[in-house]
Structure 1
Amino acid sequence: MTRKCAIVTGAARGIGLATTDLFLEQGWTVAMVDRDAEELRKVASARDHVLAVERDVSNPQDVNAMVRDTLERAGRIDALVNNAGVAEFGPIEDCDFEMWRRVMATNLDGVFLCTRACTDALKDSRGAIVNIASISGLRASTLRVAYGTSKAAVIHLTKQHAAELGEFGIRANCVAPGPVKTKLSMAVHSPAIIQAYHDAIPLNRYGSERELAEAIVFLASDKASYVNGQVLAVDGGFDSTGVGLPALREPV
């Protein structure tokens, strides 16, 4: 119980898994939260100092159980990384209410529920919240009416938590990833989309999961002890150039 403990949601793959590994490298315990039980068990079994917590962040009962599970086994919560998210893209006319709610339930409700459930423990540790938004929450883009809106709301929710929880020593910050090279993005992005992203990003490449993890773990650490209510775009400069590329409007 002397090791700091981070809860990382959506930890079974991608940015969440890379963030878990970096916390572990720095001597933390990590409660790995994911609703994909099979994948979670597989990756957790290959790591020490982790807790596999099979929960759905959009379900209030699951979220409360997540906190109980973590406190019972780790004794503390020093950081909450709200990374779990879903991405459903398509033209605005194809976004029905069911799709809207699926996206909001995880991307926005999940952040609210997890933060609310962790607040008392974070007060005790004077800990940190790091929410994962997106550049799609900073600037409108094509095919992302629900996704982009959910991420814009996460950005404001982060600032709201920073304003209200700061007096308890809790810092809340947000990372807004740009295009990241993951197995999923490489599977669904056509060569034309990949080239369009490269052309629009000043660094001319996708980011890596590890690069995102570095920013997340920094904001959760004591090195960022006076950083609160901020949005850090980790995007190779993409937000500075605008979004909404013509190639993204083409069917994948």
Structure 2
Amino acid sequence: MDFQDKVVLITGASSGIGAATAIYISKQSAKLALVGRKANNLKAIGVYCLKSKGIQPLTITADLTEEADVERIVKETIDHFGRLDVLINNAGIVLMGGLKNSNMEIYDKVMATNMRSVYHLTMVATPHLIESKGCVVNVSSVSSTMPSSMSIAYNISKAALDHFTKCAALELAPDGVRVNSVNPGFVKIQTYTKM
């Protein structure tokens, strides 16, 4: 796979699946815009990516639940690279609890991060993705189809993300934009330190 001259924006790139994805795609010659809340971690991942092919990634410290940050993420990416080819909506959180041992604050926080921010960022990025005939990859979870009482809000958010993916794919297909999701299970978390 070759991402030569392709601009890829990855959310949640400061750790976990997002960091591993950033490092992998950097080896395919992608121009990366990496988004995360933890600036130091994000910079460390940026160093890994730079060493892959010598392409300096753009790192953007932002909170996807803040509307102004979402707008800024796309603006900074376009200002820096002039285009956007791939949006990887990876950022997400898991908060434990069910109907008997949770509260609406947990529900609101999970839905704001895992679903509302994806909807908003994809909406803001759409004109640029239409222009490039790009694609969107949403990182969902096997939890979207596997009921559990341990983290109901998380499971609901991922089920909603799966349906959003199908709806967005249907809407954007006539414009030449592909929208897909991946649904990983549990993964071993790799710790990245600055090289």
TM-score by length of 1: 0.70
1:108 aligns with 2:110: no
Q: Which segments of 5 or more consecutive residues in structure 2 lack a partner in the other structure?
A: none
Aligned-residue Cα RMSD (Å) equals 1.4
What's the CA shift for 1:78?
0.4
Indicate the residue corresponding to 1:238 in structure 2: none
Residues 95 and 146, structure 1, Cα contact 8 Å, conserved in 2: no
1:179 aligns with 2:186: yes
Q: Which has the larger radius of gyration?
A: 1
Indicate the residue corresponding to 1:19 in structure 2: 21
Indicate the residue corresponding to 2:41 in structure 1: 39
Indicate the residue corresponding to 2:59 in structure 1: 52
Indicate the residue corresponding to 1:83 in structure 2: 90
State the alpha-carbon separation in 2 of the partners of residues 47 and 25 from structure 1. 7
1:149 aligns with 2:156: yes
Where 1:130 maps in the other structure, the secondary structure is strand
After TM superposition, the structure 1 = structure 2 runs for residues 1-252 of structure 1, keeping only pairs within 5 Å, are 3-48=5-50, 49=55, 50-182=57-189
What's the CA shift for 1:56?
1.2
Where 1:80 maps in the other structure, the secondary structure is strand
Residues 10 and 84, structure 1, Cα contact 8 Å, conserved in 2: yes
State the alpha-carbon separation in 1 of the partners of residues 167 and 150 from structure 2. 27
Counterpart residue identity of residue 21, structure 2: T
In the TM superposition, structure 1's runs of 4+ consecutive aligned residues that sit over 2 Å from their partners are none
What's the CA shift for 1:183?
5.3
Residues 8 and 30, structure 1, Cα contact 8 Å, conserved in 2: yes
Residues 23 and 45, structure 2, Cα contact 8 Å, conserved in 1: no
Counterpart residue identity of residue 87, structure 2: L
State the alpha-carbon separation in 1 of the partners of residues 88 and 173 from structure 2. 17
What's the CA shift for 1:5?
0.5
State the alpha-carbon separation in 2 of the partners of residues 120 and 88 from structure 1. 33
Please list the CA deviations of residues 143-166 of structure 1 after superposition, one character each: whole Å capped at 9, or x if unmatched.
021000000000000001001011
Residues 136 and 144, structure 1, Cα contact 8 Å, conserved in 2: no
What's the CA shift for 1:129?
0.4
**Number of aligned positions between the proteins:** 183
What's the CA shift for 1:57?
1.3
Q: Which segments of 5 or more consecutive residues in structure 1 lack a partner in the other structure?
A: 185-252
